């Protein structure tokens, strides 16, 4: 196994420099959005959703913006 193949990458969304503030104390919050998909047949019996995991090629496509909406 190549070293980069042993790393688990989750698809997420966030913007560099974007800042959210806590409404109660006005502190800056570090946030991101995790991309979720329908569960596969193995997990579907216990949960309806899964986090999107990316392999090395999927990560490059995601970060470059070339993944589109059909990332597999």
Q: Contact at 8 Å (CB) between 11 and 54?
A: yes
| Tens digits of pLDDT across the chain (72 residues) | 445 556 667 766 666 667 788 899 999 887 777 778 898 888 889 989 888 888 888 888 877 877 776 655
> Distance between CA 8 and CA 64 in Å, rounded?
18
pTM of the model: 0.51
CB count within 10 Å of CB 54 equals 21
pLDDT of residue 25: 95
- Residue spans of the domains in the chain: they are 3-64
> Distance between CA 1 and CA 4 in Å, rounded?
8
Q: Contact at 8 Å (CB) between 56 and 71?
A: no
């Amino acid at each position: 196994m190549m070293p980069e193949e042993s790393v688990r990458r989750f698809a997420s969304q966030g913007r560099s420099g974007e800042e959210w503030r806590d409404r109660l104390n006005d502190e800056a919050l570090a946030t991101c959005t995790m991309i979720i998909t329908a569960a596969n047949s193995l997990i579907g019996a216990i949960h309806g959703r899964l986090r999107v995991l990316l392999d090395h090629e999927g990560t490059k496509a995601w970060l470059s913006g070339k993944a589109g909406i059909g990332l597999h």
